[in-house]
Amino acid sequence: MEFRQLEYFCTISELENFTRTAEVLHVSQPSVTKAIKALEAELGLQLVDRSQKKASLTEEGKAFLLHARRIMQDAAAAKQDMLRFRRDSHGTVHFGMPPMVEAYLFPDFFTKFRQAFSDITLDLQEFGDSEEVRSKADLGELDFGIVQDGGSDAENELCIMRDQMSVCLPAGHRLARREALSFEELAGEKFIMQQPRTYQYKAVLERCQAAGFMPEVLLCTSQLKAIKQLVANQMGISILPDFVTHTAKDFVRRPLTPSLDVVVSLYWCAHKPLSAAGSRFTEFVRQYTATPEFKRCYRQE
Protein backbone atom coordinates (compact mmCIF):
# COMPACT_ATOMS: atom_id res chain seq x y z
CA MET A 1 0.00 0.00 0.00
CA GLU A 2 1.48 3.33 -1.07
CA PHE A 3 0.72 6.85 0.06
CA ARG A 4 -0.05 8.02 -3.48
CA GLN A 5 -2.66 5.26 -3.83
CA LEU A 6 -4.45 6.58 -0.78
CA GLU A 7 -4.21 10.12 -2.12
CA TYR A 8 -5.76 9.08 -5.44
CA PHE A 9 -8.46 7.06 -3.70
CA CYS A 10 -9.49 9.90 -1.36
CA THR A 11 -9.64 12.34 -4.26
CA ILE A 12 -11.79 9.96 -6.34
CA SER A 13 -14.19 9.63 -3.41
CA GLU A 14 -14.77 13.39 -3.59
CA LEU A 15 -14.72 13.99 -7.35
CA GLU A 16 -16.24 10.65 -8.45
CA ASN A 17 -14.35 10.88 -11.73
CA PHE A 18 -10.99 9.39 -12.79
CA THR A 19 -10.26 12.07 -15.39
CA ARG A 20 -11.00 14.95 -13.05
CA THR A 21 -8.92 13.30 -10.32
CA ALA A 22 -5.95 13.05 -12.66
CA GLU A 23 -6.32 16.73 -13.60
CA VAL A 24 -6.51 17.91 -10.00
CA LEU A 25 -3.48 15.85 -8.96
CA HIS A 26 -1.52 16.74 -12.14
CA VAL A 27 -0.94 13.13 -13.18
CA SER A 28 -2.15 11.03 -16.11
CA GLN A 29 -5.45 9.18 -15.97
CA PRO A 30 -3.79 5.80 -16.61
CA SER A 31 -1.60 6.42 -13.54
CA VAL A 32 -4.70 6.94 -11.39
CA THR A 33 -6.45 3.88 -12.82
CA LYS A 34 -3.37 1.70 -12.34
CA ALA A 35 -2.88 2.87 -8.73
CA ILE A 36 -6.51 2.17 -7.76
CA LYS A 37 -6.45 -1.29 -9.39
CA ALA A 38 -3.24 -2.13 -7.53
CA LEU A 39 -4.81 -1.00 -4.25
CA GLU A 40 -7.91 -3.14 -4.88
CA ALA A 41 -5.74 -6.12 -5.80
CA GLU A 42 -3.72 -5.79 -2.58
CA LEU A 43 -6.89 -5.64 -0.46
CA GLY A 44 -8.73 -8.27 -2.51
CA LEU A 45 -11.77 -5.98 -2.70
CA GLN A 46 -13.47 -3.72 -5.22
CA LEU A 47 -13.37 -0.21 -3.80
CA VAL A 48 -14.71 1.80 -6.77
CA ASP A 49 -17.80 1.04 -8.84
CA ARG A 50 -16.97 1.89 -12.46
CA SER A 51 -20.23 0.59 -13.95
CA GLN A 52 -21.97 3.99 -13.92
CA LYS A 53 -21.05 7.35 -15.46
CA LYS A 54 -19.53 8.44 -12.19
CA ALA A 55 -17.00 6.51 -10.15
CA SER A 56 -18.75 5.87 -6.86
CA LEU A 57 -17.44 3.96 -3.88
CA THR A 58 -18.68 0.47 -3.09
CA GLU A 59 -19.69 -0.38 0.48
CA GLU A 60 -16.18 -1.76 0.96
CA GLY A 61 -14.77 1.46 -0.48
CA LYS A 62 -16.77 3.57 1.93
CA ALA A 63 -15.44 1.55 4.86
CA PHE A 64 -11.85 1.82 3.59
CA LEU A 65 -12.24 5.58 3.06
CA LEU A 66 -12.42 6.11 6.83
CA HIS A 67 -8.99 4.50 7.23
CA ALA A 68 -7.51 6.25 4.20
CA ARG A 69 -8.55 9.70 5.40
CA ARG A 70 -7.19 9.02 8.88
CA ILE A 71 -3.84 7.97 7.41
CA MET A 72 -3.75 11.09 5.22
CA GLN A 73 -4.55 13.33 8.18
CA ASP A 74 -1.90 11.67 10.33
CA ALA A 75 0.67 12.03 7.55
CA ALA A 76 -0.14 15.73 7.17
CA ALA A 77 0.13 16.23 10.94
CA ALA A 78 3.48 14.41 11.02
CA LYS A 79 4.82 16.55 8.20
CA GLN A 80 3.67 19.72 9.95
CA ASP A 81 5.21 18.62 13.23
CA MET A 82 8.57 17.85 11.62
CA LEU A 83 8.78 21.38 10.22
CA ARG A 84 9.68 22.60 13.68
CA PHE A 85 13.06 20.80 13.43
CA ARG A 86 14.06 22.38 10.12
CA ARG A 87 16.70 25.06 10.30
CA ASP A 88 15.14 26.98 7.41
CA SER A 89 11.76 27.18 9.15
CA HIS A 90 10.92 30.35 11.04
CA GLY A 91 8.90 28.30 13.50
CA THR A 92 5.33 28.23 14.68
CA VAL A 93 4.28 27.60 18.27
CA HIS A 94 0.77 26.16 18.61
CA PHE A 95 -0.52 27.57 21.86
CA GLY A 96 -3.73 26.97 23.80
CA MET A 97 -5.27 28.63 26.84
CA PRO A 98 -8.54 28.96 28.76
CA PRO A 99 -10.55 32.24 28.56
CA MET A 100 -9.41 33.66 31.92
CA VAL A 101 -5.76 33.64 30.91
CA GLU A 102 -6.40 34.84 27.37
CA ALA A 103 -8.27 37.91 28.56
CA TYR A 104 -5.95 38.97 31.38
CA LEU A 105 -2.45 37.63 30.77
CA PHE A 106 -2.09 37.09 27.04
CA PRO A 107 -2.20 40.61 25.51
CA ASP A 108 0.89 41.87 27.36
CA PHE A 109 2.60 38.49 27.03
CA PHE A 110 2.05 38.42 23.26
CA THR A 111 3.33 41.97 22.83
CA LYS A 112 6.55 41.21 24.71
CA PHE A 113 7.03 37.93 22.85
CA ARG A 114 6.66 39.51 19.41
CA GLN A 115 9.17 42.19 20.35
CA ALA A 116 11.69 39.53 21.34
CA PHE A 117 10.99 36.91 18.62
CA SER A 118 9.58 38.35 15.43
CA ASP A 119 10.59 35.16 13.55
CA ILE A 120 8.30 32.87 15.58
CA THR A 121 4.57 32.77 14.93
CA LEU A 122 2.14 32.08 17.78
CA ASP A 123 -0.92 30.12 16.70
CA LEU A 124 -3.35 30.83 19.55
CA GLN A 125 -6.40 28.67 20.26
CA GLU A 126 -8.91 29.16 23.07
CA PHE A 127 -10.29 26.19 24.98
CA GLY A 128 -13.01 25.98 27.60
CA ASP A 129 -10.89 24.70 30.47
CA SER A 130 -7.44 23.50 31.51
CA GLU A 131 -8.33 19.82 31.14
CA GLU A 132 -9.00 20.33 27.44
CA VAL A 133 -5.72 22.22 27.03
CA ARG A 134 -3.79 19.36 28.68
CA SER A 135 -5.53 16.79 26.50
CA LYS A 136 -4.74 18.66 23.28
CA ALA A 137 -1.09 19.05 24.29
CA ASP A 138 -0.78 15.36 25.21
CA LEU A 139 -2.23 14.41 21.81
CA GLY A 140 0.35 16.60 20.08
CA GLU A 141 -2.19 19.07 18.73
CA LEU A 142 -0.66 21.86 20.84
CA ASP A 143 2.99 22.63 21.53
CA PHE A 144 2.13 24.45 24.75
CA GLY A 145 -0.86 25.39 26.83
CA ILE A 146 -1.66 27.52 29.85
CA VAL A 147 -3.37 25.62 32.67
CA GLN A 148 -4.81 26.59 36.05
CA ASP A 149 -4.97 24.24 39.00
CA GLY A 150 -3.54 23.68 42.44
CA GLY A 151 0.02 23.37 41.15
CA SER A 152 2.31 20.53 40.07
CA ASP A 153 6.00 19.65 40.26
CA ALA A 154 5.94 17.83 36.92
CA GLU A 155 8.95 18.36 34.66
CA ASN A 156 6.69 19.31 31.75
CA GLU A 157 5.15 22.27 33.62
CA LEU A 158 6.60 25.70 34.27
CA CYS A 159 4.98 27.82 36.96
CA ILE A 160 4.04 31.26 35.65
CA MET A 161 2.38 32.61 38.78
CA ARG A 162 0.94 31.61 42.14
CA ASP A 163 -2.15 33.53 43.13
CA GLN A 164 -5.03 33.46 45.57
CA MET A 165 -8.75 33.47 44.91
CA SER A 166 -10.97 36.00 46.66
CA VAL A 167 -14.69 36.34 47.27
CA CYS A 168 -16.25 38.94 44.97
CA LEU A 169 -19.22 40.66 46.62
CA PRO A 170 -21.65 43.37 45.54
CA ALA A 171 -21.03 46.73 47.19
CA GLY A 172 -23.15 46.94 50.34
CA HIS A 173 -23.34 43.17 50.79
CA ARG A 174 -23.79 42.05 54.40
CA LEU A 175 -20.35 40.37 54.34
CA ALA A 176 -18.50 43.27 52.74
CA ARG A 177 -17.53 44.70 56.14
CA ARG A 178 -15.56 41.56 57.04
CA GLU A 179 -11.79 41.57 56.51
CA ALA A 180 -11.71 37.89 55.51
CA LEU A 181 -14.34 35.20 54.92
CA SER A 182 -14.62 31.47 55.47
CA PHE A 183 -16.64 29.17 53.25
CA GLU A 184 -19.00 28.45 56.13
CA GLU A 185 -20.11 32.10 55.97
CA LEU A 186 -21.01 31.74 52.27
CA ALA A 187 -23.74 29.14 52.84
CA GLY A 188 -27.02 30.37 51.39
CA GLU A 189 -25.40 32.71 48.87
CA LYS A 190 -26.06 32.50 45.15
CA PHE A 191 -22.85 31.62 43.27
CA ILE A 192 -21.92 32.75 39.77
CA MET A 193 -19.39 30.23 38.50
CA GLN A 194 -17.24 29.25 35.57
CA GLN A 195 -17.97 26.01 33.72
CA PRO A 196 -18.05 22.75 35.75
CA ARG A 197 -14.78 21.39 34.27
CA THR A 198 -12.75 24.42 35.36
CA TYR A 199 -10.45 24.50 38.36
CA GLN A 200 -12.45 27.38 39.87
CA TYR A 201 -15.69 25.39 39.83
CA LYS A 202 -14.14 22.19 41.19
CA ALA A 203 -12.13 23.94 43.92
CA VAL A 204 -15.10 26.04 45.09
CA LEU A 205 -17.43 23.03 45.07
CA GLU A 206 -14.95 21.00 47.13
CA ARG A 207 -14.56 23.77 49.69
CA CYS A 208 -18.33 24.28 49.97
CA GLN A 209 -18.89 20.57 50.52
CA ALA A 210 -16.15 20.55 53.17
CA ALA A 211 -17.99 23.44 54.86
CA GLY A 212 -21.16 21.36 54.97
CA PHE A 213 -23.28 22.73 52.12
CA MET A 214 -23.83 22.55 48.38
CA PRO A 215 -23.52 25.92 46.64
CA GLU A 216 -26.62 27.36 44.98
CA VAL A 217 -25.27 28.03 41.49
CA LEU A 218 -27.18 30.81 39.77
CA LEU A 219 -25.22 30.67 36.51
CA CYS A 220 -22.20 28.98 34.91
CA THR A 221 -20.42 30.88 32.16
CA SER A 222 -16.97 31.15 30.56
CA GLN A 223 -17.45 34.91 30.15
CA LEU A 224 -15.49 36.55 32.97
CA LYS A 225 -16.77 40.02 32.17
CA ALA A 226 -20.30 38.70 32.58
CA ILE A 227 -19.44 37.12 35.94
CA LYS A 228 -17.98 40.36 37.28
CA GLN A 229 -20.85 42.46 35.95
CA LEU A 230 -23.44 40.16 37.50
CA VAL A 231 -21.69 40.47 40.86
CA ALA A 232 -21.69 44.26 40.48
CA ASN A 233 -25.41 44.05 39.63
CA GLN A 234 -26.00 42.28 42.96
CA MET A 235 -27.14 39.05 41.33
CA GLY A 236 -24.80 36.89 43.39
CA ILE A 237 -21.23 36.32 44.50
CA SER A 238 -18.24 34.71 42.82
CA ILE A 239 -14.76 33.50 43.70
CA LEU A 240 -12.05 34.51 41.26
CA PRO A 241 -8.24 34.81 41.14
CA ASP A 242 -6.84 38.14 42.29
CA PHE A 243 -5.03 38.74 38.99
CA VAL A 244 -8.45 38.87 37.35
CA THR A 245 -10.12 41.20 39.88
CA HIS A 246 -7.48 43.36 41.57
CA THR A 247 -8.38 46.44 39.49
CA ALA A 248 -12.16 46.07 39.93
CA LYS A 249 -13.99 49.16 41.21
CA ASP A 250 -17.66 48.15 41.00
CA PHE A 251 -17.62 45.35 43.58
CA VAL A 252 -15.57 44.44 46.65
CA ARG A 253 -13.13 41.59 47.20
CA ARG A 254 -12.42 39.76 50.42
CA PRO A 255 -9.73 37.10 50.98
CA LEU A 256 -10.66 33.60 52.04
CA THR A 257 -9.54 31.95 55.23
CA PRO A 258 -7.99 29.51 54.85
CA SER A 259 -6.76 30.73 51.48
CA LEU A 260 -7.73 29.12 48.20
CA ASP A 261 -4.67 29.09 45.95
CA VAL A 262 -4.44 28.86 42.18
CA VAL A 263 -1.34 28.20 40.10
CA VAL A 264 -1.05 29.27 36.45
CA SER A 265 1.45 27.12 34.55
CA LEU A 266 2.87 26.55 31.11
CA TYR A 267 2.22 22.92 30.10
CA TRP A 268 3.60 20.73 27.31
CA CYS A 269 3.55 17.05 26.40
CA ALA A 270 6.04 15.11 28.50
CA HIS A 271 6.82 12.70 25.64
CA LYS A 272 7.30 15.19 22.82
CA PRO A 273 10.77 16.76 22.42
CA LEU A 274 10.81 20.53 22.19
CA SER A 275 11.76 22.10 18.90
CA ALA A 276 14.26 24.94 18.68
CA ALA A 277 11.33 27.38 18.60
CA GLY A 278 9.76 25.60 21.58
CA SER A 279 12.94 25.82 23.61
CA ARG A 280 13.24 29.52 22.86
CA PHE A 281 9.60 29.93 23.86
CA THR A 282 10.01 28.29 27.27
CA GLU A 283 13.12 30.33 27.98
CA PHE A 284 11.23 33.51 27.14
CA VAL A 285 8.41 32.54 29.52
CA ARG A 286 10.95 31.93 32.31
CA GLN A 287 12.59 35.29 31.81
CA TYR A 288 9.36 37.23 31.26
CA THR A 289 7.64 35.94 34.41
CA ALA A 290 10.75 36.72 36.48
CA THR A 291 10.81 40.42 35.57
CA PRO A 292 9.85 43.05 38.16
CA GLU A 293 7.37 44.44 35.63
CA PHE A 294 5.44 41.15 35.46
CA LYS A 295 5.52 40.65 39.22
CA ARG A 296 4.33 44.19 39.82
CA CYS A 297 1.57 44.05 37.22
CA TYR A 298 0.16 40.76 38.48
CA ARG A 299 0.78 41.28 42.20
CA GLN A 300 3.42 38.57 42.44
CA GLU A 301 5.66 40.35 44.95
- Other beta carbons within 10 angstroms of residue 148's beta carbon come to 25
Strands 121-126, 92-97: pairing is parallel
- Other beta carbons within 10 angstroms of residue 114's beta carbon come to 12
Give yes or no for residue 180 having a pLDDT over 90: yes
Question: What integer pLDDT is reported at residue 176 of this predicted model?
Answer: 94
Domains of the chain: 3-85 (1.10.10.10), 92-160+266-297 (3.40.190.10), 161-263 (3.40.190.290)
Q: What pLDDT, in 10s, does the model give residues 100-127?
A: 776 677 778 888 888 888 778 888 888 8
Q: How confident is the model at residue 94 (pLDDT cuts 50, 70, 90)?
A: confident
- Type of residue numbered 264: V
151 phi and psi, to 5 degrees? 105, 150
Question: What integer pLDDT is reported at residue 103 of this predicted model?
Answer: 67
- Other beta carbons within 10 angstroms of residue 71's beta carbon come to 15
DSSP string, 20-87: HHHHHHTS-HHHHHHHHHHHHHHHTS--EE-SSSS-EE-HHHHHHHHHHHHHHHHHHHHHHHHGGG-T
Question: What integer pLDDT is reported at residue 90 of this predicted model?
Answer: 55
Mean pLDDT (the chain, rounded)? 88
Question: What integer pLDDT is reported at residue 38 of this predicted model?
Answer: 93
What is the three-class DSSP state of 9? helix
Helix (H) / strand (E) element for 203: namely: helix 199-210
Structural contact between residues 239 and 181, judged by C-beta atoms closer than 8 angstroms: no
Structural contact between residues 171 and 245, judged by C-beta atoms closer than 8 angstroms: no
Question: What integer pLDDT is reported at residue 174 of this predicted model?
Answer: 94
Give yes or no for residue 244 having a pLDDT over 70: yes
Q: What pLDDT, in 10s, does the model give residues 250-278?
A: 999 999 999 999 999 999 988 877 777 78
Give yes or no for residue 235 having a pLDDT over 80: yes
Give yes or no for residue 63 having a pLDDT over 90: yes
CB proximity list for 7: less than 8 A, separation 6 or greater: 25, 72
